[in-house]
Chain A
């Protein structure tokens, strides 16, 4: 199993056009990233296309990783999920997002970013458990399944504005809990 150090080394080499490192990164991470895109898209063919696009983006933008402030797996997961969400939204003929902000570069990590990148994910589950179940379901529905406010509102049988208020308040509560 590839360590954080291994993944970072692959990304560094990919930034130098090392195709073997890109293939190694694919072998080490494709099952994880495929599970992320498949959860968003459900359809295997769409998910494979999204995964393909993800690894092409990784090839092109590996040089942006070091200045992103993320841990390597967070960076990869974020690209994969955003690529899948773009495809999901395009499938629904909604306006697609232009997803280049995750490649923010040339700013360098702030001390806060560097600290956050080493943060503990286990904390999120504890903090999520503190939310009422319907709020928790909305947050995970948005992140893992790519639900929109309209869909979440329909699923919860409440108006969209109410769902938006719920979710924004839940985010604030989560952030307070996570900062403890």
Chain B
């Protein structure tokens, strides 16, 4: 355990391991608790974080895809309840594998229903991290977006509406998400053409969808498309 009475070398090594995220989980939690009451230990952590950050100068900067800025902007929108965002963040990390499995399974179902060989596919897993999971599949170059309900639904007397957001345009409604099973939505040509840079979002709306043509309720989830 890291204490003020430990030899300084041990504290230096502990702080370095902590910053490098090498400590076993129990040690990491104990060290973190120690930081609250040990300013000299916090100094060591800050020193390591500052020094190690210099290693990132060796990395070549890479701009992310333009639609990520849109996703971020929507996520910091004040209408999204903080709790839904935190849970969605958690769900993304933990359920990435589950989403991939589900995506793989419905891709197989999609494939067997098609007479012709499929081209490259795009898919998105849309989840709010609590009970809602939908996913969207499209063959690259096509305009038919298949939206499959996996789990969950809107609160009573509300509806969930799906939106497609291009980087430089207001959200376009793709209608109410299906309560069960699968729906095919025909995408506007300009949305389908930009599928790799589109952000999909689900919002919580009154029954029948947004009365204004733009999202009015909380944004429950956003996602771009993944190639597979």
Residues of A within 8 A of B (CB): 19, 22-23, 26-27, 30-32, 34-36, 38-39, 45-49, 51-53, 55-56, 59-60, 68-71, 73-74, 77-78, 81-82, 85-87, 89-91, 93, 95-98, 101-102, 104, 107, 110, 112-113, 116-117, 119, 121-125, 139-140, 142-144, 146, 148-149, 164, 167-169, 171-172, 174-175, 178
Residue of B nearest to A119 (CB): B50
B55→A144 contact, CB < 8 A:
yes
**Inside 8 A of A164's CB, which chain B residues have their CB?**
22
Choose among B17, B76, B93 the residue that contacts A171 (Cβ–Cβ < 8 A).
B17
B168 on the A face (CB < 8 A)? no
B43→A56 contact, CB < 8 A:
no
Residue of B nearest to A142 (CB): B20
Return 21 A-B CB contacts under 8 Å, by A number.
A19-B73, A31-B63, A36-B59, A48-B64, A56-B76, A69-B43, A69-B46, A70-B46, A77-B56, A98-B29, A101-B45, A104-B35, A104-B36, A104-B42, A110-B43, A113-B46, A124-B51, A144-B59, A167-B22, A171-B17, A175-B16
Residues of B within 8 A of A (CB): 9, 12-13, 16-17, 20-22, 25, 28-29, 32, 35-36, 39, 42-43, 45-47, 49-65, 68-69, 71-73, 75-76, 82, 85, 89, 92-94, 96-97, 224, 226
B226→A116 contact, CB < 8 A:
no
B42→A70 contact, CB < 8 A:
no
A-B pair count, CB < 8 Å, reads 173
Residue of B nearest to A96 (CB): B93
B72→A26 contact, CB < 8 A:
yes
Residue of B nearest to A94 (CB): B25
Residue of A nearest to B97 (CB): A91
B47→A55 contact, CB < 8 A:
no
**Inside 8 A of B61's CB, which chain A residues have their CB?**
31-32, 34-35
B39→A107 contact, CB < 8 A:
yes
A86→B93 contact, CB < 8 A:
yes
Residue of A nearest to B52 (CB): A143
| B39 CB, min distance to chain A CBs, angstroms | 6
A125→B21 contact, CB < 8 A:
no
**Inside 8 A of A175's CB, which chain B residues have their CB?**
12, 16, 47
Choose among A34, A71, A121 the residue that contacts B64 (Cβ–Cβ < 8 A).
A34
Q: How far is the CA of A144 from the CA of B93 in the complex (A)?
A: 20
Q: A95-B25, A97-B28, A116-B43 in contact; A56/B63 too (CB < 8 A)?
A: no
B65→A26 contact, CB < 8 A:
no
A56→B85 contact, CB < 8 A:
yes
A48→B224 contact, CB < 8 A:
yes
Q: How far is the CA of A9 from the CA of B26 in the complex (A)?
A: 38
A74→B53 contact, CB < 8 A:
yes
B62→A34 contact, CB < 8 A:
yes
Residue of B nearest to A86 (CB): B93
A19→B63 contact, CB < 8 A:
no
A113→B93 contact, CB < 8 A:
no
Q: How far is the CA of A118 from the CA of B145 in the complex (A)?
A: 52
**Inside 8 A of B224's CB, which chain A residues have their CB?**
45, 48
Residue of A nearest to B44 (CB): A175
Additional pairs, 12, CB under 8 Å, beyond known A23-B73, A48-B224, A56-B85: A19-B73, A34-B61, A34-B63, A36-B59, A48-B68, A52-B68, A86-B93, A97-B28, A142-B20, A142-B22, A167-B17, A175-B47
